[in-house]
Structure 1
Amino acid sequence: MLLSAYTVAATVRGIVKQSPQWLGSAKGAIFGVSLASISASGLLLYFLTAGRYEYTYVASYTNDALPFLYKLSAFWAGNAGSLLFWTLLLSLYTAIIGFSKNNKYSPYVLSVLALNLLFFFIVMLALANPFEMSDTVPPDGNGLNPMLQNPGMVIHPVTLYLGYVGLAVPFAFAMASLMLKSMDSAWLKLIRKWTLTSWMFLTAGNLIGAWWAYVELGWGGYWAWDPVENASFMPWLTVSAFLHSVMIQERKNMLRKWNLTLAILSYGLTLFGTFLVRSGILTSVHAFADSSLGTYFFIFLAFMVLFASYLVVSRNGLINSRSVPVTAYFSKESSFLLNNYILLAAAFAVFWGTIFPLVSETFLGTKINTGAPYFNKVMAPILLALILLMAVCPAIPWEKASPSRTLMQIRWPLGLSVVTAGILAAMGVNGMFAVFGLSACMFMLATHVMEITRAVRARRRATSENPATAFLKLFSKNRRRYGGYIVHIGIGVLAVGIISSQAYPLELIKTVNRGESFTIGGYELTFNSFNKTKQTDSDIIFAEMGVAYKGKKLAPVHPEKIYYDNWAEPSTEVAVKSRWNEDLYVVLSSWETKNKITVLARVNPFISWIWAGGYIMLAGTLVSLTVGRRTAGISLVQNLTKREAVR
């Protein structure tokens, strides 16, 4: 804490006095903060794995029977440990910034990040010390919540925290730009990889969290619009908008104030999400217990947002004087701006639905909860509009476009989407939204494939390369653009999975006797046996269900209930049998005797497309993170592509 406070003071003094000595001293202090954070984290991990129950945190989240992997993941299972983990990541990020190549923004960025570090150290020392010791040493610990004893919960918090913490860096650079009164786009180039990496980790964290909910909670879905799920989704939406709008500022010197606002908003939403998780004001399976931490986070959030808002307002004239307005209503610039409006509309819809119970309780005296029906009805048309825009945007050029020419360019993908709608209707797919949504996804996917195909064909004309070589070199020379296309394709695949799984799942709750069978969606399930096994700290009860699909016998499934010695409620282990177009999802709900059980069986269409779409999105992000240099050959290919589009 003292080193963080010193870093803030030293950077401020170094900036005011223009003193390299003070700024160098601040960098040394940041190195000390990182070293201290690493040491503290290493000690806590050692205490967790060694069973040092004299520490309250260790006794609360581990026990002797807990597997080693979950003893490690107990590091971020509770308030105090997760705060230390957050601080560890933030200190490492700050050290990387501090010891990177010097630029005019560095001292200001260090001061902002060190202020964040100071806040977290104060909170840990005052309210949530992971090294607090108890008066008595218990013989064993309480153990980890069974729902967290899942591989997804080892990775999910880490990826989310990497994303959350990473968004402090673009915010710090935005503040540095404002404090320096430097309104050029240099800061955007410095934060591009930071922002993209944070977006990638947020994407991975949300997807892993959805997978965990799907296989662990036993309700058959993967996203319940839980307040804490929403808290991680909102910054993902705003950062997605930011990644698109910065391209306009870099190329056209537009949207300066807009980008500053998005950087502030994304950072603010990470603190808002942390406030929701730690305040206990909203009910969530993800949230920590009620604590006073939420109040401190709310105060810090208010202070940082007000400080940032003051800087934006006080530099308003300077920002506007350097910015160029969007003048062409039909251009790539305007389409990117519309993309931003849609993403922010989605973020606001999620924000309003999340806080509405608090608003209703404050003003009406009654907490009115907003559930999945509200979010599904509001978000479906917003995200559908986003998919349609993504379908058209690649065909729209910069500066000014011709609507008729653009329509000619997308006529084949558009025609394919109409054919898709007809096929889906003929197949008996119910629901206009499902038909329209899946057709829009086909439109979007076809547009991106067409754009890539045209570019490969143009490069082959310019270089006489074979198709594979042309494809690989095209991507290697313009990774930012085509990495973005891969991400869009991943979103399209993911959207197919979401729309299909929401539109026509099959569900059946059935009580069956031993040897009895029932059918659902082409699957025949037979209750073969009911068994119980004993583990070190738990009893596992499971049923063996024979499975046949359209008469073909498949491997049996084994849905389970696990009763842990230290937990009153059992843990549900779902049996999932995945195919490319659907999942068979079986849950052991209850039992009367060994010969009579009740099971929940679902057939969830295209669930695997959700996970596949996520993998494609992450692959596209990795491609974009390694930006290739433009060459004259690329310019030639682009010119040929434009000529072909015109023709």
Structure 2
Amino acid sequence: MTLAALGRLLILASLLAATTGAVLGFASGAKKSLIGLQWTRRFAYAFAALMVLATLVMERALVTHDFSVSYVAHVGSRAVPLWVTIVSLWSSLEGSILFWGFVLGIFIAAATLLTRIGHEGEMPYAIATWLTCGSFFSFLIAGPANPFLTVSPVPLDGPGPNPLLQNHILMVAHPPMLYLGYVGMTIPFGFATAALFRGRLELTFLRLIRNSLLLSWIFLTLAIMLGGWWAYEVLGWGGYWAWDPVENASLLPWLTATAALHSAIILQRRGVLKGWTITLVQASFLLTVLGTFMTRSGVFNSVHSFTQSAIGPTILVFLAAVLIGTVTLLALRIDSLESDGSIDGAVSREGSFLLNNLLLAILTFTVLIGTLFPLVVEAISGKQMSVGRPYFDSMVVPAGVALLFLLGVGPALPWGRASREEIKRALLPPLIGAAMLTIAGVAFGARNPWTILTLAFGGYAIQVTVSAMWKAGWKARTTRAYVIHLGFAIAIVAIALSSTMRTQTEVTLAKGQTAKTGNYSVTFLGTELRNEPHRMSSVALIAIAKNGKAIKTLEPRMNQYEMMREPIGTPDVYSTIGGDLYISIASLEESRASLLIITTPFVSWIWFSVVLMAIGGAISLIRFRRVAPAVQPALIDKLETLSHTP
């Protein structure tokens, strides 16, 4: 049997397993059948195993250069390095959908295994929901996005994957991390759907929703950072975020997932917002499906969208079906999720969490409108238009600064009602941190009003966060959440400084000539040609010195790939804790180079702070599993009262 035939057989079997398991799961939940639940679990494991096997078959076809397989003929090449061959799996439409199915299978198997004990009433619905999603993606792989078609006659070689995917090692990490974040949203979506079917949301089941959502949030957080880093290191314009539609597609579910995680904390503490929390979880999944449509349908022109395809209508039908089903289920069952408690006061920690949710919802709506509006206009009138950075900056920056303000004020406030004196004692001391960071920023050169405001709120939030971590101690569960807050505060401050204080210079240098920008001296030493199996590179050798002291030689380059008519530029970056020197080639000759030279402060702090956020999330997730079973909201109130009693 050929690899193409074996792959098709495995995908058809996975479609059968997923469909059968989904039908059986919903029936088992309705009839409360434990035997049906056992068989539903078996079908979930079968689906996962078949998807993993199908993916391994494709990887074998890629590595062995089996060009009789259509996908290998489309993206394979004998000339590219092995690592490029391996990651070619997610370099184009059909392989990326197969990789989606692979990740989905892993998630379903892991979630099914970890919930094998308890929640027998909810789990049939959860697994059935997961397998329904699995059925759809199996159908895509078996039909309109089939990577296992047979090619005849068999070509001797292929063109290789998209050159942009070969141009930087970050493409090894960014797409898988994004898929882990996107696909992972299926698991909390299934749990949330099960809660609606059962008409109840116990705190122990909420823990499953929050755990799975937090895991996906961690992956998505890292994916957004890696995508920005890739754009910064590869595209040559010196930025890391351009409000590109596909960039926005990853941000949207991150915003709603962040809101859901905070809403879940209020639910655990106060027993309120059950329906809202479930709605946010389901919205996060719907936005990942929308993101998949935006990325893989070809309706948006984006450097991140590498494919034009005909599967867009199919994904759109699936999105519409899930949306209608979700809204219908919410309308019919949300009233059954009654609140067990109440919120005592607006000036409290839970009050700040509500404002946090409101701002995140506004941000989501703002970004969604700006992203989809051009598509709607084109569909109605046939006219093409774009919504650019001015719109997003003017709408998002104020909301983002307000979120940073709440990041400081919220954790400083106590849970429940507080006296005026308690509020003063909580909110006044962090003004020292606000003043210190603002003064430091102004001394460094910050003049933009929004940047100065960001520095003030950032300093406030950082002092609140560090102080709370110090008082609680490392072993406290809240401390691990504060690590995320600290990372977020640093990230927003770094983004504000790097966005408003960068300098940009375009110079043309002859061989041996030097240009100055700030404290840096840049000398063009000449060019060098480098041949690799999959590309030819023209490298500009640039010696850099700071304050007269030689530092290193940067090597921005122009890479020529066989399948591309024009070369692709790759900048080179000298990074320090205080900022980056970024050099990109505009044009290059043997004895002359036109260069774009950019200095940007504190860029590396963005990458560091996002990793810090992910570490905080991971530690919270690990430690969260060791926490004793959640107590009722009334008991929590009593314990909080006693803890504040002198």
1:81-230 pair list within 5 angstroms = 81-99=95-113, 100-103=116-119, 104-149=121-166, 150-230=168-248
Residue 598 (structure 2) pairs with residue 602 (structure 1): yes
Residue 30 (structure 2) pairs with residue 30 (structure 1): no
Residue 313 (structure 2) pairs with residue 313 (structure 1): no
Secondary structure, counterpart of 2:586 in structure 1: strand
The alpha carbon displacement at 1:409 in A equals 2.3
The alpha carbon displacement at 1:590 in A equals 0.2
Distance 1:547 1:528 in 2: 10
The alpha carbon displacement at 1:641 in A equals 8.2
1:313-352 pair list within 5 angstroms = 313-319=331-337, 321-352=338-369
In 2 relative to 1, CA 153–312 (structure 1 residues): closer, same or farther, beyond 3 Å?
same
Distance 2:142 2:568 in 1: 34
Aligned to 2:407: 390
Aligned to 1:60: 74
Distance 1:303 1:600 in 2: 48
Residue 620 (structure 2) pairs with residue 624 (structure 1): yes
Distance 1:189 1:608 in 2: 34
The alpha carbon displacement at 1:26 in A equals 2.3
Look up the equivalent residue of 1:189 and give its one-letter code.
R
1:408-447 pair list within 5 angstroms = 408-447=425-464
Choose the corresponding residue for 1:268, options 279, 286, 289: 286
Retained in 2: the 8 A contact 1:278–1:289?
yes
Secondary structure, counterpart of 1:13 in structure 2: helix
The alpha carbon displacement at 1:443 in A equals 1.1
Retained in 1: the 8 A contact 2:273–2:339?
no
Retained in 1: the 8 A contact 2:556–2:571?
yes
RMSD: 2.2
Retained in 1: the 8 A contact 2:413–2:426?
no
Look up the equivalent residue of 2:52 and give its one-letter code.
I
Aligned to 1:587: 584
Look up the equivalent residue of 1:125 and give its one-letter code.
A
State the TM-score, normalized to the length of structure 2: 0.92
Say which is worse superposed, 617-626 or 88-97, in terms of deviation: 88-97
Retained in 2: the 8 A contact 1:76–1:157?
yes
Distance 1:246 1:638 in 2: 18
The alpha carbon displacement at 1:576 in A equals 0.6
Distance 1:263 1:197 in 2: 13
Secondary structure, counterpart of 1:569 in structure 2: coil
Secondary structure, counterpart of 1:561 in structure 2: strand
Secondary structure, counterpart of 1:315 in structure 2: helix
Distance 1:69 1:509 in 2: 35
Distance 1:499 1:338 in 2: 22
Distance 1:198 1:427 in 2: 37
Retained in 2: the 8 A contact 1:170–1:263?
yes
Distance 2:228 2:444 in 1: 29
Aligned to 2:11: none
Look up the equivalent residue of 1:616 and give its one-letter code.
L
The runs of 5 or more residues in structure 2 that have no matched partner are: 1-14, 630-635
Aligned to 2:33: 19
Look up the equivalent residue of 1:607 and give its one-letter code.
V
1:269-288 pair list within 5 angstroms = 269-288=287-306
In 2 relative to 1, CA 162–537 (structure 1 residues): closer, same or farther, beyond 3 Å?
closer
Distance 1:409 1:31 in 2: 51
Distance 1:395 1:438 in 2: 18
Retained in 2: the 8 A contact 1:238–1:343?
yes
State the TM-score, normalized to the length of structure 1: 0.92
Percent identity over the alignment is: 32
Retained in 2: the 8 A contact 1:264–1:305?
no
Aligned to 1:48: 62
Aligned to 1:506: 503
Choose the corresponding residue for 1:483, options 473, 480, 484: 480
Secondary structure, counterpart of 2:569 in structure 1: strand
Q: Deviations over 1:179-230 (max 9, x none)?
A: 1122433421122221111000000111111111110111100111111111
Secondary structure, counterpart of 2:522 in structure 1: strand
Look up the equivalent residue of 2:541 and give its one-letter code.
E
Retained in 1: the 8 A contact 2:22–2:132?
yes
Retained in 2: the 8 A contact 1:496–1:609?
no
Look up the equivalent residue of 1:604 and give its one-letter code.
T
Retained in 2: the 8 A contact 1:332–1:393?
yes
Retained in 2: the 8 A contact 1:174–1:187?
no
Aligned to 1:573: 570
The structure 1 segments of at least 4 consecutive aligned residues displaced by more than 4 Å after TM superposition are 634-644
Distance 2:512 2:645 in 1: 68
In 2 relative to 1, CA 36–577 (structure 1 residues): closer, same or farther, beyond 3 Å?
same
Secondary structure, counterpart of 1:545 in structure 2: strand
Aligned to 1:466: none
Q: Deviations over 1:85-118 (max 9, x none)?
A: 1111212222223333242211111111111111
Distance 2:26 2:189 in 1: 18
The runs of 5 or more residues in structure 1 that have no matched partner are: 456-473
Secondary structure, counterpart of 1:412 in structure 2: coil
In 2 relative to 1, CA 558–636 (structure 1 residues): closer, same or farther, beyond 3 Å?
farther
The alpha carbon displacement at 1:419 in A equals 3.9
Residue 564 (structure 2) pairs with residue 547 (structure 1): no
Distance 2:455 2:433 in 1: 12
Q: Deviations over 1:441-472 (max 9, x none)?
A: 111111111222333xxxxxxxxxxxxxxxxx
Look up the equivalent residue of 2:375 and give its one-letter code.
L
Secondary structure, counterpart of 1:346 in structure 2: helix
Distance 1:219 1:349 in 2: 26
Secondary structure, counterpart of 1:401 in structure 2: coil
Retained in 1: the 8 A contact 2:411–2:465?
yes
Look up the equivalent residue of 2:413 and give its one-letter code.
I
Distance 2:637 2:347 in 1: 24
Aligned to 1:529: 526
Q: How many residues align?
A: 620
1:394-405 pair list within 5 angstroms = 394-405=411-422
Retained in 2: the 8 A contact 1:109–1:172?
yes
The alpha carbon displacement at 1:51 in A equals 0.6
The alpha carbon displacement at 1:412 in A equals 2.5
Aligned to 1:244: 262
Retained in 1: the 8 A contact 2:436–2:459?
no
Secondary structure, counterpart of 1:348 in structure 2: helix
Say which is worse superposed, 540-549 or 89-98, in terms of deviation: 89-98
